[in-house]
Chains A and B, each alone.
Chain A
Amino acid sequence: GENVEQHPSTLSVQEGDSAVIKCTYSDSASNYFPWYKQELGKRPQLIIDIRSNVGEKKDQRIAVTLNKTAKHFSLHITETQPEDSAVYFCAASYTDKLIFGTGTRLQVFP
């Protein structure tokens, strides 16, 4: 069935360093890949998304890359700040339902 694997489960970085979170999806028909940030007790918030006809997308300090052949996609955060600390979820969509990864807890230390 449809599955999304996400690594690592936890990630600690120093402020100013880069952070990379990787996801692998199982359904080759998936065509939409959003990333959500969820702070403790709050709703998931969309931070960036990419569709299968694009290989890379950037928005200021955040970028997402997609390798359709390998069925991998990754989130890159540069110049991390303490307010980037949260749980990040990747998701893959086919037929419009989102299948989520298990999340990555990112801690940015000042």
Chain B
Amino acid sequence: DAGVTQSPTHLIKTRGQQVTLRCSPKSGHDTVSWYQQALGQGPQFIFQYYEEEERQRGNFPDRFSGHQFPNYSSELNVNALLLGDSALYLCASSSVPQETQYFGPGTRLLVL
């Protein structure tokens, strides 16, 4: 039973570029949440997808957008990258929005 997977594992971009990160939830899970974890900090909630819709959103600008596909996998897109977007981006899945969230290994993004 595969857990939550994310790709790519690492990414280097320059300011102003755009990036797409991908997440496949744990088998049997239909809810995907995205978090940003800066170095030495706790994860910060970006948004949550359920039934292909953005269900909730944290305090992140519109440059951060996402999508959920019919197979429950999800993408996080960040436009007009800033140096401050450098972080570990974590995806978590759950069987329904109210249930326990399990994290993927993350994508480490470095913006130069």
Contacts and interface: CB of A to CB of B under 8 A. Distances in A.
Interface of A: 4, 6, 32, 34, 36, 42-46, 49, 89, 91, 95-103
Chain A interface helix/strand/loop/mixed: strand
Contacts of A45: 103
Given A97-B58, A98-B43, A44 B48 contact: no
B106 A43 contact: yes
Chain B interface helix/strand/loop/mixed: loop
Contact of A96 (B4, B42, B98, B106): B98
Given A96-B48, A96-B56, A49 B42 contact: no
A43 B56 contact: no
B101 interface: yes
Interface of B: 4, 33, 35, 40-45, 48, 55-56, 58, 90, 92, 97-98, 100-106
Given A96-B56, A97-B48, A98-B101, A44 B43 contact: yes
Contacts of A98: 33, 35, 43, 45, 92, 101
B98 A42 contact: no
26 contacts: A4-B42, A6-B42, A32-B98, A34-B100, A36-B103, A42-B105, A43-B4, A43-B90, A43-B103, A44-B103, A46-B101, A89-B43, A91-B42, A96-B56, A96-B97, A97-B33, A97-B45, A97-B48, A98-B33, A98-B35, A98-B43, A98-B101, A100-B42, A100-B43, A100-B44, A103-B42
A110 B11 CA distance: 37
Contacts of A49: 100
Given A43-B104, A103-B40, 12 more contacts: A4-B42, A6-B42, A34-B100, A42-B105, A43-B4, A43-B103, A49-B100, A96-B48, A96-B56, A96-B97, A98-B33, A103-B41
A8 to B, nearest CB: 15
A29 B4 CA distance: 29
A14 B32 CA distance: 39
A46 B100 contact: yes
